Chain A
Amino acid sequence: MAADSDTESEVFEITDFTTASDWERFVSRVEEVLNEWKLIGNSEEKRLSEKSEFTSGTWEENFEEINFADFKFEITYHFLKQEHVKSNKKEELEEDAVPLAVQNLLSENNDFPPRAHCLVRWYGVQEFVVISPGSNCEAIISESKCNLLLSSISIALSNSGCQVPVFVQIQHKWRRMYAGECLGPGLRTDFEMVHLRKVPSQYNHLSGLLDVFKSKISCTISPVPPVSIAIRFTYILQDWQQYSWPQQPPDFDTPLGGEVGGVEFGKLPFGACEEPISELHLATTWPRLTEGLVVDNDVYSDLDPLQAPLWTVRVRTTENPQCLLGDVLSEFFKLCCIKETAEEILGRGMAEDEGKENSDISSALSKLTEPSATVPIHKLSVSNMVHSARKHIRRQRHMDESPLNAGILNTILLYLFPDAAVEKPSEYTKTKSEQSNTPGKTEQDKNSDNLFSQLKSAPSDSLTYRLALCLSLVNYNYGGLRAVAHVWQEFVLELRYRWENNYLIFGLAGGSPDLRCCLLHQKLQMLNCCIERKRARDDARKVLDEGKERAHRESGSSAAAVTSTKEVSPGKSWDSWSDSEEEFFECLSDQGDMDAPQTEEEKTGSKRKAEGRLHQYNSMNLLNSSEPLYVPVTQEPAPMTEDLLEEQSEVLAKLGTSAEGTHLRARMQSACLLSDMESFKAANPGCILDDFVRWYSPRDYVEEEVVDDTGSLVMKGHLSARMKIPGNMWVEAWETARVTPARRQKRLFDDTKEAERVLHYMAMQKPADVTLHLLPCLIHGTILKLKEEEATENIPSVQISLQQVVSQASRLMQTPARDYKRLEEFINRLIAMETVITQARSLKAKFSICDKAENREDLEIFVRSLLEEPEVLVIGAGQGPAGSIIHRMFVSAQRAAVLAPLDEDLNQERQSTESSRVPDFPSPAGREILLRTCVPRPAPYSKALPQRLFCVLLKDEFRLAGAFSSDTCFF
C-alpha cells in the first residue's frame, strides 16, 4: 500500500496499518450490515409515527453478529413496523429532509410509552441500531475504547449515508449506558448520557434540570425559544390496607364435618392463597407544560399529582401466586413419576400380610378358573373369604400407622360408593345404578358429555370422575402418596367385594364399555357387565332350584331376560375369541342332552321340540313347513374394552391380507354367527339355511316372480349368488351348527374370567398408573371448575383461553402416549387461568365493585383493562370514579404508614390533626422529565434543530439522556 513512500512514513504506515486493519474491517462490516438491512439514504417508505403508535404498533428487530478483532459485538436494528406507506408525496421529499429519528426528538405523539425499549423511551426514536458487546464479552469501559467505537460508527455512518441513529452500549450492561450518533444531510445529532447512583440535590427539581439543558444547548440567540416540558411522576401502592384480598385460606383441619364430609371430596378448591396483585403503579402526567408557567424548585412545587391532567395505572401481579386448584392439579400430576408400587409405598409389613391373604384368594380362584374345574362356582364361598380378608387387612391397617384414619377413609369410601350407605339389598343397588344411567339429560349435561368424549375422561357423574377428584384431594390434603395408595387399595378391594357378592358398581352407565371414556372407566364398566351377567345367571339358577319342571317350561322367557350371557362356539375348527373354559349359561341338570350325540335328524332339527323362541318374525313361515319362522333368543357378543379390542384387531390384522387371511379372519369371528345359527335351529325345527338368511341377511334372499308349471305368476325365492357359492363360510357354518338354544350354548363371554382379568389389572396398577388413568378426569374437572368460576367474572381472555384449552387437551388426551413435557405446559396453562381469575377478583374487591356500586360498568371495564393492557388511562384522572378510589387507597395507605404504631383508640381530634399533616401521596417512586426545544447550534446563524433532554430521577438512579443536534454546514 505504501510501497513507494519514504522510509519514515513507511514505518509509520505499517504500524498504523496493522491496527487500522481490524478497525477498518469492523467499520466496513458495520457498513455492510447497514446496507444489508437497507438503512441507507432517506427511505420514502417510512413516515413519522402517529399518536400512540409505539404502543399499538408492532416492533421488530434484525440481528447480526460482527467482530472487532476477536471481540464479538451484536448489532441489532429495532424498528416500528409500518404498513407500506404509499408515498404520494415522493416529489415533496426533499433531498435534505431531517432524518426521522431527529424529527422524533420533538414529536409529542409517543411520550412515555407503556412498553418500549429504553432508548425509545428516552429519545422517542422509532428506528435505531444498537451495537453492544456479545453476551459473554466484557463491557466497553475504558474511555479510549469508547471513543474508538464511536468514531468507527461516525465513519460508517458518513461512508454509507445511513440516516438511522446508531448507538453503542458502553459501561456495564446493567447501567444501560448508550452513546450514539445520527447523521443527516448537513446535520448531526449526538446522543449523550449521564448516569449516577444518586440524584444531585441541585438537579432534584425541574428548575435545576432546565439549567442543565440550557447550558448544554448554549443558545446564543435571543430571545431564547421556550422549552417545552413533559413530566410524569409515578407513585407505588403496596399496602392494600382494608382493600385486602378477600379470599379465606381454606381450613384443611376441619373440612370433614359429619354429614357434609362426603361432598367435600367432590369439590375442587379454587382461589389464591396469597394476594395475587402485588402493586399498583399510578403515573400522573403533565403532558405539555411551558417553561415559566410552572414552578418546581427546591422549596416549592406546583406539581400536585391530584391535579395532573393525565392519570394512568398499571398493576403488578404476584409471580406464580399459590393457587389451590392449580396446586391440587400439579401435585396430582407429580404422582405420575413415582415408580413404586402401592405395596412398596405402604410398607413391607403390610404388604406381606396382604400377600398372604391374596395368595389364598388367588389359589382359590385359580382352582376356579382351571379348565378342569368341576366344582360349580356357587359352591365355593370365595366371596366370604375375600370379604373376611378384606376386613382383616383393614383392621391391620388401622392399627399400623395408616396414612388415613378410619373416619376419613369411611367418608371417602362413602363418597365413592354412596349406595353402600344403605344395607345392600341387591335390588336397591340395581335400581340406583340404573337411575344414574338413565338418559334425559339437561342441556348442561349434554355439554359436559361432549367434554368427556373430547378429553377421553368420563362423565362428570361417574364413579371414575369422582375417584379422580377424590384421589387428587386425598393427595393434596390427606397424606399425599401413601394415602393415595391406600385409597386405591381399598377401592380395588371394594370392587372385588362387589363382584363376589353380585352388587353392581354404582355410578357407571350400563351396557358395553364406552370407548369414548378413559380405559379405567371402561374397565369398571366391563366389571359391571360381568357382575350383571353373573347375577342374571345366579338368579336364573335360583329359578331353576325352585322347580326344575317350571324352569323347563319357562326356559325360553327366562333365557330371554338374560340374553347378555355369552358363549364360545364348540368344535375345534371354530376357535373363537372366547376362552376355552367350559361354562354354560344353565349348566345344571339338563346338561345331559347337550352331551348326547347328535344324529343327522337332530342336525336338521326336524324332530325336535322348539326351544328358545323370542318372537315370530314378520309373520313369515318356514319354507319347508307351515310353522311360523321364529327369531331365537341369542347371545349378545362380548363387551370389549379398548385394550382388548386393540389386541384383537392386532391379531386380526396379523393374519395378513391374502384371501386365506380373510378366510381365517372370518372364521375367527364366526362364533357369534354360529351361536345364532344354533339358536335359530333350536327355535325353528325343520328350518333350512334359506330360512336363516331370510331373517339374518334378508338382502341375500332374492325373491322373483316366475311362471310356474301351471303358467301362473308366483313369487319364488332363492339365496343370492354369494350365499350359494359352495363351501362358503355361511354354508359351512350352517352345516356345523348344532341344534342348541342359547341358554345351553357355551358362553360367548366368560364373565368370570373377564372379571378376574379386570380385578387383576386393577390390583397391578401402581399409584403412578392410576394417576395417569385419572388425569383426563381431573383435567376435565379443572376445566369445569374454571368455567364455573369464570362465569361469575366474565373475563374475555380466560374465555378464549378456555376454548383453546379444550381442543388442546383433546389433542393431548386422545393420543395414547403421554408427553409429559407438553402435559406440564398444558397444566401450567390451566393454572395461569386460575391466577387471572383470582387477579380479577382481587381487583374487583379493591375497586369495591358490587352490584349497587355507581359507575359499576365503567369500573368493570377499567378493572378488566388493568389485566389486559400494560397501562390503563384513568378517565377523569384524579377526579374520575376510578381516580377517587385510587386516591382513597393512597390516602389510607399513607395514614396507616404513619398511624400504624399508634393505638387504635386515638381521640378523633388527634387523628384529624395527624392526618392533615400526612400528604395524600407518598413521594413519587420515579420522576421523568422531558425537555424539548428547537434552537440553532453551534452558531446563532446555524439551522434551528431539535434538542432534547430526558431526565429520570429514581431513588437510586439519576439519568440524563440528551440528544443535541448541530448544523454541519454553517457553523
Chain B
Amino acid sequence: MDEDVLTTLKLLIIGESGVGKSSLLLRFTDDTFDPELAATIGVDFKVKTLAIDGNRAKLAIWDTAGQERFRTLTPSYYRGAQGVILVYDVSRRDTFVKLENWLNELETYTTRMDLVKMLVGNKIDKDDREVDRNEGLKFARKHSMLFIEASAKTKDGVQCAFEELVEKILQTPGLWESDNTGQRLQLGEQQQGGGRACGGYCSIP
C-alpha cells in the first residue's frame, strides 16, 4: 500500500488545552469520539493515508499538548511541518483570544516560510457558543489561513478540514517537493479554493 503513496506530509495540531485537538485527530484517524481521552502529555503522533485526486498522501500528524508548561517542549516538533491546524473552542472565548499567541509561537519556531495554516473552531455541537463564526472567519482572513468550524463529537467538518489542508499543501509549490520522495505529484485540474462540497470552507488567498 505504501508503494503508491507519493508523498509524506508532516502536519501539526496546536491550540489551548482542552479545545479538542486530540479529539479532532481521533475523529479523523479512527472516526470515533472518546470522551475518556486524557489530556495530552508532551506530543502524540498518528498516521493516516489520504487519497486526494487519486493520489495517496501519507500524513504524519503530531498532536501537541496545550498546557502552558509543555510549551517549552512542544515547539521542537514544529520543525519541518508543512501544515498546521490551529484549534480553538467556540464555547470558550479565552481559547479564541489566545490564538494570536499561538501564531507568534508558530512564526518563531517553524522552519518553512510557506507553511499552510488552517483555523478550526471546534465543539460547534455545544449550545453555549461564545465565539461567532464570523469572528473566526475574520481572524482567518487576517492571517491568510483556511477556516472551518467543526465538531469532533458529531464529526461535522473534521474530514473536510484535513482534506482541504492537504490539498492546499499539495497546491503550494515548493512546500512538499523537497520531500525525500523527490517525486512530483501529478495533480489533476486544480480548482482554486473550495469548489468541493464543504459548506463551511473558505479559502483566503
Closest to A723 in B: B39
Interface size class of A (residues with CB under 8 A): 35 or more
Residues of A within 8 A of B44 (CB): 662, 665-666
Q: Residue A669 at the B interface, CB < 8 A?
A: yes
Name the interface residues of B70-106: CB closer than 8 Å to any CB of A: 70, 72-73, 76-77, 79, 92
Chain A residues with CB below 8 A from B37, complex form = 722
Please, how many angstroms separate the alpha-carbon atoms of A700 and B41 in the complex?
Answer: 14
With A637-B73, A672-B69, A699-B18 as known contacts, state yes or no: A722 contacts B38, CB within 8 Å. Answer: yes
The count of residues in chain B whose C-beta lies closer than 8 Å to any C-beta of chain A is 36
CB–CB A811/B178 < 8 A: yes
Interface residues of B (CB under 8 A from A): 16-18, 29, 35-47, 60, 62, 67-70, 72-73, 76-77, 79, 92, 109, 111-113, 174, 178, 180
Point out the residue from A645, A696, A700 that lies within 8 Å of B18, measured CB to CB: A700
B42-A515 in contact (CB<8A) = no
Interface 1/0s, chain A 308-323, versus B by CB < 8 A? 0000000000000000
Interface of chain A, main secondary structure: helix
- A446–B18 Cα distance when bound, in Å, is 36
Q: How far is the CA of A610 from the CA of B69 in the complex (A)?
A: 22
Does the CB pair B38–A665 fall under 8 Å?
no
Tell me the minimal C-beta distance from A322 to chain B in angstroms: 34
Residues 513-566 of A contacting B (Cβ, < 8 Å): 515-516
Query: Which residues of A are found within 8 Å of B73, using beta-carbon distances?
Result: 637, 669, 672
- Residues on B with beta carbons closer than 8 Å to the beta carbon of A171: none
CA distance A280 to B79 in the complex (A): 53
A-B contact pairs, 18 of them (CB 8 A): A636-B72, A645-B79, A649-B43, A652-B45, A655-B45, A657-B29, A669-B41, A669-B42, A669-B43, A670-B41, A672-B73, A696-B69, A697-B18, A697-B67, A700-B39, A723-B39, A810-B113, A811-B178
Interchain CA distance A962-B115 in the complex, whole Å: 63
* A676-B42 contact, Cβ under 8 Å, with A657-B29, A814-B111: no
Residues on the A chain within 8 Å of B178, using CB? 811, 814-815
Q: List B contacts of A634 (CB < 8 A).
A: 69
Chain A residues with CB under 8 Å of B111's CB are 453, 456, 515-516, 814
In the complex, the 4 A-B pairs of residues with the closest C-beta atoms, listed nearest first: A669-B42, A666-B41, A699-B18, A728-B38
Of B35, B69, B76, which one neighbours A721 at CB under 8 angstroms? B35
A413 interface hit (Cβ, 8 Å): no
| A723 to B46 CA separation, bound complex (whole angstroms) | 22
Q: Which residues on B sit within 8 Å (CB–CB) of A456? A: 111
* Chain B residue nearest in CB terms to A513: B76
Chain B contacts for A729, CB-based, 8 A: 38, 41
A725 & B36 in contact (Cβ 8 Å cutoff): yes
Point out the residues of chain A lying under 8 angstroms from B47, CB to CB.
657
Q: Contacts A515-B111, A516-B111 known; A673 to B41 CB distance under 8 Å?
A: yes
Closest to B37 in A: A722
- Is the CB–CB distance between A653 and B45 below 8 Å? yes
How many A-B contacts if CB must be within 8 Å? 94
Residues from chain B with a CB closer than 8 A to the CB of A42 are none
Q: List A residues 624-677 near B (Cβ within 8 Å).
A: 634, 636-637, 640, 642, 645, 649, 652-653, 655, 657, 661-662, 665-670, 672-673, 676
Cβ A665 vs Cβ B42 within 8 A: yes
Given the complex, which residues of A lie within 8 Å of B35, measured CB to CB?
721-722
Chain A's closest residue to B61 (CB) is A657
- Asked if A475 lies at the interface with its beta carbon under 8 angstroms from chain B, I say no
A667 and B43 alpha carbons, distance in the complex (Å): 11
Please, which residue of chain B has its CB at the minimum distance from the CB of A672? B73
- A817: chain B residues at CB < 8 Å are 180
List residues of chain B with CB within 8 A of the CB of A645.
76-77, 79
Q: Which B-chain residue is minimally distant from A661 (CB atoms)?
A: B45
A720 at interface (Cβ–Cβ under 8 A)? yes
Closest CB-CB distance, B193 to chain A, in whole Å? 25
Interface centre among B35, B79, B174 (most CB of A within 10 A): B79
- Complex Cα–Cα for A653 and B80 (A): 15
Contact B17 A699 (CB under 8 A): yes
With A672-B69, A722-B39 known, 13 other A-B pairs at CB within 8 A are A636-B72, A653-B45, A657-B47, A665-B43, A665-B45, A666-B41, A670-B42, A676-B69, A700-B17, A700-B18, A729-B38, A730-B38, A811-B174
Q: Do residues B38 and A515 form an inter-chain contact, with CB atoms below 8 A?
A: no
Inter-chain contacts of B76 with A (CB < 8 A): 515, 640, 645
Known: A515-B111, A811-B174, A814-B178. A666 touches B42 (CB 8 A): yes
Residue of A nearest to B23 (CB): A722
Contacts of A657 in B (CB 8 A): 29, 45-47
With a cutoff of 8 Å between Cβ atoms, the chain A residues found around residue B70 in the complex are 672
Q: How far is the CA of A204 from the CA of B97 in the complex (A)?
A: 88
**Is A454 an interface residue, CB under 8 A from the partner?**
yes
A661 to B178, CA, bound (A): 30
- Whether the pair B45, A722 counts as a contact (CB closer than 8 A) is no
Q: Which of A666, A676, A730 has the most CB of B within 10 A?
A: A666
